[in-house]
Structure 1
Amino acid sequence: MTSPLPGLRTEGLSRVYPSGEGTVTALRPFTHTFQPGMTAVVGPSGSGKSTLLNLLAGFDTPSGGRVVVGDTDLHALTEAGRADFRLAHYGFVFQNHNLVAILSAQENVEFPLMLAGVPPRERRDRARALLAQVGLERRAGHMPSQLSGGEAQRVALARALAGDPQVLLADEPTGNLDTRTGNEVLELLLAPARAGRTVVLITHDPEVAARADHTLRVRDGEVHAEPAPAGMR
């Protein structure tokens, strides 16, 4: 497990893309400290939400500013260094679960632990415990094609939590699920938030956003913090 890190923040973070003879500003300079708990990122399609998430993850390179996790400037690292840092400190949940098709549910959860060099017995035990935590201990040997959408998303969440990440990034994790299953996945995402982890969640669903502790609204590349509705969580 990783040692606690003092949060995630951006300092003047921006992203500009070339477009024909000009440029497109996908994210305007943005300075923000993400507090422990869940932050919902909301806004219309094309507003800059995914650009922000990709920059926070280190998948994309900023045009200006930086992303800092603890005392580490994410974009001062090499590409390999960022990959190692993500493995140690980040977890990811996507709208499409992105499970490895040729691995069982348990093997998918074990996969990041294997990459991190965790001994086989320890990673098996942790994977089993996480699958039990998401209610899928009896589906451990099933392949992704044998799982429902909700089950696959819960396996993806277990995989994201395998390394005990300090930062959990989720991109529309309930977007392809029915209301009941989406609520179950959201409750599982809220657990690390309540435990003091930093969870950043992109969502189009106002009911999902209302469950978050903090809200960021993105429009035309501008990011503004706003109070989350009280009493919904």
Structure 2
Amino acid sequence: MITLENVTKTFPSGEGVIRALDAVNYTFGPGLTAVVGPSGSGKSTLLNLLAGFDTPTGGRVVVDGTDLGALGEAGRADFRLARYGFVFQNYNLVQILSAAENVEFPMALAGVPARERRERSTALLARVGLAGRAGHLPAKLSGGEQQRVAIARALALEPGILLADEPTGNLDSRTGESILELLVAPARAGKTVVLITHDADVAARADHVVRVRDGRIERVEDHVPAH
């Protein structure tokens, strides 16, 4: 559970202050939540705060009883490693590492033994349909394949929280659908999955749709998603 308690985020600008988020209250629970809204509405700021990449100007972000703002930067980094998985829009793969090594990377940071890392990486790449591409560098993979590696990496430590920023935005519809299936699965298993999207079809698959505009939650739609 990630709870935003009266969260405000402002940024200085030449003309004063930009209020990216304005007194937001919401709890992200198990299942798939899609965050939608126009460009500049505060979606990316919200995701950064949920992850602890940034801290609120006012209010608190609380994850299972832990106030992220009270942890300090190093504490938040350790907390993220233990609790979160991330799927970035631009994949954020390490270019000098193979697909398998990219998946192993967070496990190495967490101190998982080498043999277990290799076994888990092999299983995850097979799960995302890339068993035959494990030794390839990112530059030798298509966009869809790189996104699959990113998802395998995000799942490597079996996180309770998965955050995704436009995970299907740069992909064709067929590849995007297969990527979405990989994100839906952990949500159905009781994980908390939050994704930013501009795609109405992707939002239709979510359990909850949070509509953001001008730094505020405009409305929340809870529904039975289309599978």
The alignment's TM-score, normalised by the length of structure 1, stands at 0.95
Q: How does 1:202-217 map to 2 (within 5 A)?
A: 202-217=196-211
Letter in 2 for 1:222: R
Q: Does 1:163 find its partner at 2:157?
A: yes
Alpha-carbon distance in structure 1 between the residues aligned to 2:155 and 2:224: 27
The alignment's TM-score, normalised by the length of structure 2, stands at 0.97
Residue of structure 1 in register with 2:80 after alignment: 86
What is the number of equivalent residue pairs in this alignment? 227
Alpha-carbon distance in structure 1 between the residues aligned to 2:225 and 2:101: 38
How far did 1:115 drift? 0.4
Letter in 1 for 2:107: L
Unaligned residue ranges in structure 1 (runs of 5+): 1-6
For residues 5-51 of structure 1, what are the alpha-carbon distances to aligned partners after superposition, in whole Å with 9 as ceiling and x for unaligned?
Answer: xx111111110111225211100111111120010000000110000
Residue of structure 2 in register with 1:136 after alignment: 130
Alpha-carbon distance in structure 2 between the residues aligned to 1:144 and 1:228: 37
Contact 1:26–1:221 (8 Å) recurs in 2: yes
For residues 183-215 of structure 1, what are the alpha-carbon distances to aligned partners after superposition, in whole Å with 9 as ceiling and x for unaligned?
Answer: 000000001000000000000000000100001
Letter in 2 for 1:83: A
Residue of structure 2 in register with 1:3 after alignment: none
How far did 1:229 drift? 5.0
How far did 1:230 drift? 3.8
- Which of the residues 191, 204, 220 maps onto 1:226? 220
User: Aligned Cα RMSD in Å?
Assistant: 1.0
Alpha-carbon distance in structure 2 between the residues aligned to 1:21 and 1:140: 50
- Which of the residues 119, 129, 132 maps onto 1:125? 119
Alpha-carbon distance in structure 2 between the residues aligned to 1:78 and 1:229: 37
The ranges of structure 1 where at least 4 consecutive aligned residues each deviate by more than 4 angstroms after the TM superposition are none
Alpha-carbon distance in structure 1 between the residues aligned to 2:13 and 2:176: 37
Letter in 1 for 2:171: L
Contact 1:210–1:228 (8 Å) recurs in 2: no
Residue of structure 2 in register with 1:184 after alignment: 178
**Residues 32 and 231 of structure 1, relative CA distance in 2, 3 Å threshold:** closer
Alpha-carbon distance in structure 2 between the residues aligned to 1:42 and 1:73: 25
Residue of structure 1 in register with 2:194 after alignment: 200
Q: Does 1:34 find its partner at 2:57?
A: no
Alpha-carbon distance in structure 2 between the residues aligned to 1:95 and 1:184: 16
Unaligned residue ranges in structure 2 (runs of 5+): none
**Residues 135 and 168 of structure 1, relative CA distance in 2, 3 Å threshold:** same
How far did 1:70 drift? 0.8
Alpha-carbon distance in structure 2 between the residues aligned to 1:102 and 1:20: 39
**Residues 225 and 123 of structure 1, relative CA distance in 2, 3 Å threshold:** farther
Alpha-carbon distance in structure 2 between the residues aligned to 1:225 and 1:160: 29
Alpha-carbon distance in structure 1 between the residues aligned to 2:91 and 2:18: 30
Alpha-carbon distance in structure 1 between the residues aligned to 2:80 and 2:219: 25
Question: Could you tell me the percent identity over the aligned residues?
Answer: 70
Q: Does 1:148 find its partner at 2:142?
A: yes
For residues 42-67 of structure 1, what are the alpha-carbon distances to aligned partners after superposition, in whole Å with 9 as ceiling and x for unaligned?
Answer: 00001100000011111112011111
Contact 1:10–1:68 (8 Å) recurs in 2: yes
Letter in 2 for 1:232: A
Residue of structure 1 in register with 2:63 after alignment: 69
Aligned-partner SS, 2:78 = helix
How far did 1:228 drift? 4.3
Residue of structure 2 in register with 1:174 after alignment: 168
Contact 2:207–2:225 (8 Å) recurs in 1: no
Q: How does 1:103-118 map to 2 (within 5 A)?
A: 103-118=97-112
